Amino acid sequence: MEDESTKWGSTAWTHLSSTRQQSPLIQCITNFVSMDLMANTLLSAGASPAMLHSLQEIPDFTPNIHALCINVGTLTSDWLPAMKMAADFAFKAGKPWVLDPVAAGASSFRLEACLELVKLKPCVIRGNGSEILALFMASVGSSKGVDSTHDSTDAIDAAKALAEANGCIVAVSGATDIVTDGKRVVGARNGVAMLQKITATGCSVTALIAAFVAVDPVHAFEATATALSVFGVAAEMAMDFAKGPASLRMHLIDSLHGLDQSTVLSRVNITSL
């Protein structure tokens, strides 16, 4: 019998190699800080990024994409209508879309915007523990039972509830990345701590999730977990050559571009929780 880890490695390789072969078109409506690294992450994985956010273009363009990534990092009120319109067009065209609720709890304006986006049926939501907890508290939970320490147990419960309530996959980034569809929960244990010292790595892994979901839309749970793990494996390989955050960033993109099957099979570390 094939063990769980071997199966995940094989699935991860299928997702990466499918992305390279199919070069899915991924529309990103994202923040100003991360556009460059997100586009280069998608290119290095074999996908085709399109940073296009004009209200006038979404009706023409969005129906032709393979997946959409929405990220609220530098949100202002004039960007929100395009995010909502694109999410709506993607959903109606049957294209998966992924939400990155950056700093969801930073203001009531941002939290409200994220909640409006969640109602537009994302296929996947990926955030850190605080972001997922903020969304959970505002949309699903009560103020009781989730204290301010935001430990991983809290995040798992919040993620499961959020996933179940919205019929989507929820991923929580951390030392162990958590992925759940509300019932199943897996932990992806790839990556290096120094990623947190590089801006936009979280945004970029969300874009990679969009690419993997684009090539395997009926297995969004698996595609989310493998994207987190493959990005983490690329970071692990890069760390061997890195002398600090900026060289890690460079080697990460190089590594994602060059990642081979045996490395993916041997390094991917995903297990049920």
Contacts of range 53-59, beta carbons closer than 8 Å, 24 or more positions apart: 53/29, 53/79, 53/82, 53/83, 53/86, 54/82, 55/81, 55/82, 55/85, 58/82, 58/85, 58/86, 58/89, 59/85, 59/89
Which C-beta is closer to a second copy: that of 109 or that of 261?
A: 109
The one among 10, 74, 139, 152 contacting a second copy by CB under 8 A: 74
Distance, in Å, from the CA atom of 20 to the CA atom of 14, rounded to the nearest integer, reads 10
Distance, in Å, from the CA atom of 81 to the CA atom of 23, rounded to the nearest integer, reads 28
The one among 7, 10, 61, 120 contacting a second copy by CB under 8 A: 61
Q: How many Cβ atoms are within 10 Å of 143's Cβ, its own excluded? A: 8
Which C-beta is closer to a second copy: that of 61 or that of 91?
A: 61
Task: Decide if 159 contacts 187 (C-beta within 8 A).
Answer: no
The one among 110, 126, 150, 160 contacting a second copy by CB under 8 A: 110
Distance, in Å, from the CA atom of 89 to the CA atom of 74, rounded to the nearest integer, reads 22
- What residues pair up with 29 in beta bridges, in sequence order? 70
Residue 140's Cβ-side half-sphere holds a number of Cα atoms within 13 Å equal to: 21
Secondary structure class of 196 (helix, strand, coil)? helix
The one among 68, 69, 70, 75 contacting a second copy by CB under 8 A: 75
Which C-beta is closer to a second copy: that of 66 or that of 251?
A: 251
Which C-beta is closer to a second copy: that of 43 or that of 120?
A: 43
The one among 4, 6, 21, 54 contacting a second copy by CB under 8 A: 54
Q: How far is the CB of 94 from a second copy (least distance, A)?
A: 20
The order of strands in the sheet holding 177-180 is: 48-50, 25-29, 67-71, 97-100, 124-128, 169-173, 177-180, 185-188, 270-272
Instruction: Please report, as residue ranges, which positions from 146 to 165 form the binding site for a second copy (by CB under 8 A).
Output: none
Is residue 261 part of the contact set for a second copy (CB under 8 A)?
A: no
Is residue 81 part of the contact set for a second copy (CB under 8 A)?
A: no
Q: How far is the CB of 103 from a second copy (least distance, A)?
A: 7
Instruction: Please report, as residue ranges, which positions from 198 to 227 form the binding site for a second copy (by CB under 8 A).
Output: 198-200
Q: How far is the CB of 113 from a second copy (least distance, A)?
A: 9
Which C-beta is closer to a second copy: that of 52 or that of 120?
A: 52
Q: How far is the CB of 269 from a second copy (least distance, A)?
A: 23
- The pair of structure tokens assigned to 189 is 């244990």
Site for a second copy, rule CB under 8 A: 31-33, 35-37, 39-40, 43-44, 49-57, 60-61, 73-78, 103, 106-110, 196-200, 242-247, 249-258
